Amino acid sequence: MRSALYSGIPALKENGMDPVIGSFHAVFAPKATSPGVLSTLAGALERTVNVVLIRWREPSWTSCI
């Protein structure tokens, strides 16, 4: 599918290419981090990801959470 921003430029798939592009993100905390702090961080990350998903409106991303 062509980007709305670059509608005059053919998509890679239109040129016979079908690349798979992915990424991996992680958040780390020290081993001695208290469960309360980890819970707070997990909640904040979940809310942040949900806000980004709403902005992107990409339903396929929800399967990654």
What integer pLDDT is reported at residue 13 of this predicted model?
Answer: 86
Provide CB contacts within 8 A for 19, sequence distance 6+.
12
Where are the chain's structural domains? 26-64
Question: Encoding tokens for residue 12?
Answer: 């890679």
In 10 A of CB 11, how many CB atoms? 12
**DSSP letter (8 states) at residue 64:** G
| Nearest one of 19, 44, 16 to 29, comparing CA atoms | 44
What integer pLDDT is reported at residue 34 of this predicted model?
Answer: 96
What integer pLDDT is reported at residue 49 of this predicted model?
Answer: 80
Predicted TM-score (pTM) of this structure: 0.46
What integer pLDDT is reported at residue 58 of this predicted model?
Answer: 52
The structure tokens 């990409």 sit at 58
Across the 65 residues of the chain, what is the mean pLDDT of every consecutive 10-residue run?
A: 84 84 84 95 86 59 50
What integer pLDDT is reported at residue 60 of this predicted model?
Answer: 54
